């Protein structure tokens, strides 16, 4: 299940221009009509955007959205290029590093992007353009349109790394090939200079570093688990490829290397399950250029877990490769069961044969047809027949050679068929009970709403009768229904369908919601458009919420997939200003609101006459906010901004980003070219260089004195010293901010405190209105003062959870659509959801304990 998304409109700050404008609209009057379109449609109404402008103006067309999903997609695009090198047989290692400032480095040991002049681009643009610059700055330019450089690949549109560059605050690419390193830097997609040749090297590969632009993305903070999961997937799918992952923010990471590939993937998915056969069944083959590798294993679970991939791209909606496999599985198992006379009174269906099946399907298609750039479903019709034919033939052979496993699998399907029949009878009893009760067969404890318009009706599933009483007192009776649930419902993941249906609380929910369950579910018959889970924030409440989500996933899948299941999320803050009141969900949002409110009438004056107000003040504050965390990260390294400022390059106006350590000495440089010159002049070699000559010299020196008597000692004519080079990525973010400070009249010196001995006049003053004047030593103190000013006149109340709220507070914060936040439960990846439920709700304790130990410190707002 994907990241939660708020679906109700967010409350508006009464101080914001939008809320003031809406408040002026007379009650009951229609809103003013939008201005009419220009009646004269001329050539001036049309404009042509460059590639860069179009990507930054419409990023959703290229990466899906600008939320966390799109943010992580940037990393995937760059990593996919490195994996394509591995698929082509030219790379063995891929390294991914998340730096403290939020920038990301992806490095591989492939062939390296070509750096020579590209004739076609140079002629079209009428200037010298390297192939590297073309890859980074020109859309629809790449090596995957023909079969020359890559036979199969995940990136097919020639837009991946280009879009990453365009949506980054800054980016840098270092290519190692042809005996040298080559670098080029970019700011918001524009090269800052030509490609530069650097030091000599025997390595090859591409190293790309980028910082997502906070002008584009709503969040620029990467999720460790999201990245780790994807990188581990890629290691599973590409046996023998070593993927290194390191997150400098928390020191965590992992080395992923799987020699047995997707066999280990299936074993990993089944780590929390009891398997029915020890061996993972594998099918491999190729036809018409399509290569496939499929691994499967049955467990005692009651659900199917399919993970499907095309050219390493996770096809979460499946496609023809999945349908081909399912067709072959059902047909082959049915044929075997009939041949062995295993079917007596019941013949299993395809769903029955897939119960408890864990499958990984990986295919490589030369010209795949995907649904859009985000690639969620394969549409190539020929793949269906290729997979169905190949899997059917190999599975038939396997069943014949392994009769014990074959009979175990078929019996598993028979048990599923019998359980399906028992569940059908239980559903019939539910229907008969509903008819006998009359009045719709609604449970007696349901406090139903008055309205009969399904589209506006909501039902709250509330933990316990006491909480149900509070919700009953606070609800909008016209369209909100309350169903109290007593205790914890049955674990729908560990129990068969007939046992789940026998649970009294489950029966109450089924009767109240009205859609039916399982394969017979019809969401058009739902009595409520929104089903809202409302539990306390303590351990019991979290457990009940998980059990309910598990039930909906197992028995009311279409209700979840249709976007009708929500979780009530009480706000973190209530903000009171006179008679106006609004709610804030997170600490980050609170900081943003206070900053926005504090800016409304703030003016900055400096002792030398500079002044910032209005839009200039807002730009100044936005820029300072963009470098706030980077400065803190730099100082955590032990380098204060004041000490680092003396190293500012007066020509470029930038701080040095490279730290070279040789012995006990530290040297700072602003470019890789300067680093290389220093290394050469001082006979230094980087300790990360894989130099074969050095390895040979080391081996020879180790061999001297071994006493074999055959080798003559070699005279050492030259001593090579090692140096360590580190690129301080947060300095790049600071440099980008310094550039943005220039148009508003400020710079690096203004961020650093100075000795004011003997001076009484303040260096800076923050003015609010005609009376409030706050002295500031430097601009770093500006944001805290603005936020503090924004808090004046407000009463902030921090909530702990639903369990501490009375009926009035519950209505105000969680039931009232004007103020509440509902988190929609999205089912974007059924396989990932099933894996999580299997881990948390299954029988095995050890995997669950490992998960809890790993994520214990990530818990927030837990009331125990």
The model's pLDDT over 125-152, given as tens digits with 9 standing for 90+, comes to 888 889 999 999 988 776 554 444 444 5
> What pLDDT, on the 0 to 100 scale, is given for residue 449?
94
How large is the average pLDDT for residues 493-517?
A: 84
Q: What is the residue-wise DSSP string for 136-147? A: HH-TT-SS-SST
Length of the chain: 864
Nearest residue to 635 via CA among 554, 728, 772: 728
How large is the average pLDDT for residues 544-564?
A: 87
**Class (C level, CATH) for 53-256:** alpha beta
How large is the average pLDDT for residues 629-650?
A: 89
CATH of 442-570+825-858, picked from 3.30.230.70, 3.40.50.670, 3.30.365.10, 2.60.40.10, is 3.40.50.670
Question: Phi, psi (5° rounding) for residue 77?
Answer: -60, -45
How large is the average pLDDT for residues 88-111?
A: 93
CA distance 470 to 777: 52
**Active-site residue set:** 463, 536, 538, 540
> What pLDDT, on the 0 to 100 scale, is given for residue 829?
57
Triad 757, 758, 761: Cα angle to 5°: 95
> What pLDDT, on the 0 to 100 scale, is given for residue 562?
87
> What pLDDT, on the 0 to 100 scale, is given for residue 61?
86
Residue 290 parent element (H or E): strand 290-298
> What pLDDT, on the 0 to 100 scale, is given for residue 257?
95
CA distance 646 to 605: 25
How large is the average pLDDT for residues 557-577?
A: 86
Question: Phi, psi (5° rounding) for residue 204?
Answer: -140, 150
> What pLDDT, on the 0 to 100 scale, is given for residue 432?
60
Lowest mean pLDDT among 95-104, 140-149, 447-456, 801-810: 140-149
Q: What DSSP state is assigned to residue 671?
A: S
What are the boundaries of each domain within the chain?
53-256, 262-415, 442-570+825-858
For residue 45, the tally of other CB atoms under 10 A from its CB is 9
Question: What is the side-by-side strand order in the sheet with 580-584?
Answer: 580-584, 573-577, 795-798
How large is the average pLDDT for residues 306-333?
A: 92
> What pLDDT, on the 0 to 100 scale, is given for residue 260?
95
Confidence tier at 544 by pLDDT (50, 70, 90): confident
Lowest mean pLDDT among 183-187, 324-328, 389-393, 691-695: 691-695
Reported as a single tens digit per residue, the pLDDT across 37-50 is 566 777 776 777 88
How large is the average pLDDT for residues 217-231?
A: 90
Nearest residue to 397 via CA among 483, 297, 312, 281: 281
Confidence tier at 626 by pLDDT (50, 70, 90): confident
How large is the average pLDDT for residues 201-225?
A: 92
Reported as a single tens digit per residue, the pLDDT across 172-185 is 999 999 999 999 99
> What pLDDT, on the 0 to 100 scale, is given for residue 323?
95
Residue 308 has pLDDT above 90, yes or no: yes
Q: What is the sign of the dihedral through the CA atoms of 658, 660, 664 and 666? A: negative
Q: Which two tokens stand for residue 110?
A: 């492939």
Q: Which of 52-61, 248-257, 309-318, 383-392 has the highest mean pLDDT?
A: 383-392
Lowest mean pLDDT among 208-217, 472-481, 560-569, 812-821: 812-821
Residue 706 has pLDDT above 60, yes or no: no
- In this structure, what is the dihedral angle of CA atoms 494, 496, 502, 505, given to the nearest 10 degrees? 40
Residue 662 has pLDDT above 70, yes or no: yes
Residue 693 has pLDDT above 70, yes or no: no
How large is the average pLDDT for residues 656-675?
A: 90
Residue 658 parent element (H or E): strand 658-662
> What pLDDT, on the 0 to 100 scale, is given for residue 441?
59
Q: What is the sign of the dihedral through the CA atoms of 174, 178, 180 and 182? A: negative
Confidence tier at 24 by pLDDT (50, 70, 90): very low
For residue 117, the tally of other CB atoms under 10 A from its CB is 14
> What pLDDT, on the 0 to 100 scale, is given for residue 480?
95
* Residues whose CB falls within 8 Å of the CB of residue 810, separated by 6 or more in sequence, listed in order: 470, 471, 473, 474, 802
Lowest mean pLDDT among 111-125, 328-342, 744-758, 799-813: 799-813
For residue 289, the tally of other CB atoms under 10 A from its CB is 14
How large is the average pLDDT for residues 700-725?
A: 55
Lowest mean pLDDT among 13-22, 75-84, 98-107, 223-232: 13-22
Fold of 262-415: Ribosomal Protein S5; domain 2 (3.30.230)
- The structure tokens 């859609």 sit at 515
**Which stretches does DSSP call E strand in 299-447?**
305-310, 313-314, 357-364
> What pLDDT, on the 0 to 100 scale, is given for residue 372?
45
Q: Which two tokens stand for residue 860?
A: 């927030």
Lowest mean pLDDT among 124-138, 269-283, 503-517, 585-599: 585-599
Reported as a single tens digit per residue, the pLDDT across 420-461 is 887 777 767 766 655 544 445 578 789 999 998 999 999 999
Confidence tier at 800 by pLDDT (50, 70, 90): low
Lowest mean pLDDT among 128-137, 141-150, 364-373, 522-531: 141-150
> What pLDDT, on the 0 to 100 scale, is given for residue 268?
92
> What pLDDT, on the 0 to 100 scale, is given for residue 558?
86
How large is the average pLDDT for residues 349-366?
A: 93
Task: For residue 480, give Cα distances in angstroms to 222, 461, 477.
Answer: 38, 11, 5
Strands 684-686 and 721-727: parallel
SS (H, E, C) 769-830: CCCEEEEECCHHHHHHHHHHHHHCCCEEEECCCHHHCCHHHHHHHHHCCCCCEEEECCCCCH
Nearest residue to 281 via CA among 399, 388, 385: 399
Residue 852 has pLDDT above 80, yes or no: no
Residue 344 has pLDDT above 70, yes or no: yes
- In this structure, what is the dihedral angle of CA atoms 841, 276, 830, 390, given to the nearest 10 degrees? 170
Listed in sequence order, the DSSP H helices in 158-223 are: 160-166
> What pLDDT, on the 0 to 100 scale, is given for residue 467?
64
Q: Which of 122-126, 258-262, 460-464 has the highest mean pLDDT?
A: 258-262
CA distance 486 to 232: 41
Q: What DSSP state is assigned to residue 299?
A: B
> What pLDDT, on the 0 to 100 scale, is given for residue 565?
94
Q: Are 196 and 221 in contact (CB under 8 A)?
A: no
CA-derived radius of gyration, the chain: 32
Q: Which of 44-48, 474-478, 681-685 has the highest mean pLDDT?
A: 474-478
Lowest mean pLDDT among 223-227, 249-253, 496-500, 604-608: 496-500
> What pLDDT, on the 0 to 100 scale, is given for residue 27?
36
Name the average pLDDT for the chain: 82
> What pLDDT, on the 0 to 100 scale, is given for residue 804?
63
Residue 701 has pLDDT above 50, yes or no: no
Residue 796 has pLDDT above 90, yes or no: no
Q: Are 487 and 505 in contact (CB under 8 A)?
A: yes
Residue 842 has pLDDT above 70, yes or no: no
> What pLDDT, on the 0 to 100 scale, is given for residue 533?
92
Q: What DSSP state is assigned to residue 127?
A: S
Q: Which string of b and e fits 662-682 if b means at least 16 CB within 10 Å?
A: beeeebbbbbbebbbebbeee
How large is the average pLDDT for residues 58-85?
A: 90
> What pLDDT, on the 0 to 100 scale, is given for residue 434?
53
Q: Which two tokens stand for residue 276?
A: 């029915």
Residue 862 has pLDDT above 70, yes or no: no
């Amino acid at each position: 299940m994907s990241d939660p998304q708020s679906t109700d409109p967010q409350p508006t700050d009464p101080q914001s221009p939008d809320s003031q404008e809406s408040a002026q609209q007379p009650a009951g009057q229609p809103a003013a009509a939008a201005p009419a379109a220009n009646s004269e449609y001329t050539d001036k109404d049309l404009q042509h955007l460059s590639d860069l402008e179009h990507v930054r103006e419409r990023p959703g067309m290229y990466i899906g959205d600008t939320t966390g999903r799109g943010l992580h997609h940037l990393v995937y695009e760059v990593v996919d290029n490195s994996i394509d090198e591995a698929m082509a047989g030219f790379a063995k290692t891929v390294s991914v590093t998340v730096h403290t400032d939020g920038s990301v480095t992806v490095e591989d040991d492939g062939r390296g992007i070509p750096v020579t002049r590209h004739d076609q681009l140079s002629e079209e643009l009428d200037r010298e353009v390297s192939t590297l610059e073309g890859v980074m700055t020109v859309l629809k330019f790449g090596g995957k349109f023909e079969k020359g450089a890559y036979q199969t690949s995940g990136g097919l549109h020639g837009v991946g790394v280009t879009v990453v560059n365009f949506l980054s605050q800054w980016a840098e690419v270092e290519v190692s090939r042809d005996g040298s390193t080559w670098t080029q830097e970019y700011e918001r997609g524009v090269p800052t200079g030509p490609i530069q040749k650097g030091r000599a090297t025997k390595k090859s590969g591409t190293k790309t570093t980028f910082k997502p632009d906070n002008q584009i993305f709503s969040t620029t903070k990467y999720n460790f688990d999201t990245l780790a999961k994807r990188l581990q997937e890629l290691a599973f799918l590409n046996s023998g490829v070593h993927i290194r992952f390191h997150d400098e923010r928390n020191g965590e990471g992992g080395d992923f290397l799987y020699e047995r590939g997707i066999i280990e993937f299936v074993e990993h998915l089944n780590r929390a399950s009891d398997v029915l056969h020890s061996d993972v069944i594998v099918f491999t083959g190729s036809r018409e250029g399509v290569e496939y590798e499929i691994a499967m294993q049955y467990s005692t679970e009651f659900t199917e877990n399919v993970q499907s991939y095309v050219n390493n791209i996770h096809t979460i909606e499946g496609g023809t490769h999945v349908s081909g496999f399912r067709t072959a599985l059902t047909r082959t198992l049915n044929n075997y069961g009939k041949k062995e006379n295993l079917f007596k009174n019941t013949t299993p269906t395809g769903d029955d044969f897939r119960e408890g099946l864990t499958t990984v399907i990986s295919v490589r298609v030369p010209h795949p047809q995907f649904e859009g750039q985000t690639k969620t479903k394969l549409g190539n019709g020929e793949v269906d027949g290729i997979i169905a034919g190949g899997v059917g033939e190999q599975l038939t052979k396997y069943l014949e050679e392994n009769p014990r496993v074959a009979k175990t699998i078929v019996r598993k399907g028979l048990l599923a068929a019998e359980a399906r029949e028992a569940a059908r009878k239980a559903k019939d009893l539910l229907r008969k009970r509903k008819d006998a009760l009359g009045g719709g067969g609604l449970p007696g404890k349901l406090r139903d709403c008055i309205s009969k318009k399904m589209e506006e009706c909501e039902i709250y599933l509330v933990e316990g009768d006491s909480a149900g009483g509070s919700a009953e007192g606070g609800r909008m009776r016209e369209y909100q229904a309350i169903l109290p649930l007593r205790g914890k419902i049955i674990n729908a993941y560990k129990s068969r369908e007939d046992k789940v249906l026998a649970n009294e609380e489950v029966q109450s929910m089924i009767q109240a919601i009205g859609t039916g369950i399982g394969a017979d579910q019809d969401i058009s018959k739902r009595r409520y458009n929104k089903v809202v889970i409302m539990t306390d924030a303590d351990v019991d409440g979290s457990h009940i919420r998980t059990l309910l989500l598990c039930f909906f996933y197992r028995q009311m899948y279409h209700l979840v997939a249709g976007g009708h299941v929500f979780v009530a999320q009480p706000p973190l803050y209530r903000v009171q200003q006179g008679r106006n009141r609004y709610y804030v969900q997170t600490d980050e949002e609170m900081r943003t609101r206070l900053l926005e409110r504090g800016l409304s009438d703030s003016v900055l004056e400096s002792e030398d006459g500079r002044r910032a107000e209005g839009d200039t003040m807002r730009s100044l504050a936005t820029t300072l906010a963009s470098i706030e965390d980077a400065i803190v990260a730099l100082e955590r390294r032990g380098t204060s901004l004041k000490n680092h400022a003396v190293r500012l390059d007066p020509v470029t106006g930038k701080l040095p980003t490279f730290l070279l350590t040789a012995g006990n000495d530290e040297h700072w440089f602003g470019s890789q070219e300067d680093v290389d010159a220093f290394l050469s002049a001082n006979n230094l070699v980087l300790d990360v260089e894989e130099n074969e000559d050095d390895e040979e010299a080391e081996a020879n020196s180790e061999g001297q004195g071994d006493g074999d008597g055959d080798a003559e000692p070699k005279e050492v004519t030259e001593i090579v010293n090692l140096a360590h080079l580190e690129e301080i990525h947060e300095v790049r973010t600071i440099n980008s901010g310094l550039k943005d400070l220039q148009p508003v009249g400020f710079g690096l010196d203004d961020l650093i405190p100075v000795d004011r001995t003997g001076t009484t006049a303040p260096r800076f003053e923050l003015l609010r209105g005609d009376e409030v004047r706050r002295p500031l030593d430097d601009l770093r103190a500006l944001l805290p003062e603005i936020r503090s000013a924004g808090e004046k006149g407000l009463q902030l109340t921090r909530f702990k959870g639903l369990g501490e709220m009375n009926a009035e507070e519950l209505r105000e914060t969680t039931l009232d659509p004007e103020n509440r936040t509902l988190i929609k439960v999205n089912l974007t990846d059924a396989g990932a959801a099933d894996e999580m439920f299997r881990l948390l709700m299954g029988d095995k304790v050890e995997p669950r304990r490992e998960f809890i130990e790993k994520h214990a410190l990530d818990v927030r707002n837990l009331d125990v």
